Amino acid sequence: MMSWRPPGFQLSAKDLVKALCSDESEHALLLLAAIQGKVELFADATVWNSFLWLVMNTCKVEGQPLYSGPELGALKSSLPIVWI
């Protein structure tokens, strides 16, 4: 590993859910460390697709999804994760 790069971690779908939905988990702390540039986080497209499926099927108000596609797209682009 190059000395100028922070340590990297690969996230699973379960890790991503814990990081985004529980601010006291070690996964949330890892996400904060990535925001601060102390670590680098990686995840593949299937991780995001799994998260989308969970959000779209469980977060509903009167049968309608709580979040729109553009809102979820904005969330994905704002995360300090390298999508591979």
Q: Give the pLDDT score at 51.
A: 96
Q: What is the mean pLDDT of residues 35-63?
A: 96
Mean pLDDT of 34-58: 96
How far apart are the C-alpha atoms of 70 and 76, rounded to whole Å? 10
Q: Average pLDDT for residues 40-67, to the nearest whole number?
A: 95
Q: What pTM, to 2 d.p., does this model score?
A: 0.87
CB atoms near residue 4 (< 10 Å): 5
Tell me the pLDDT band of 31, cut-offs 50, 70 and 90: very high
Q: What is the pLDDT of residue 1?
A: 55
Q: Which amino acid is at 55?
A: V
Judged against a pLDDT cut of 90, whether residue 47 lies above it is answered with yes
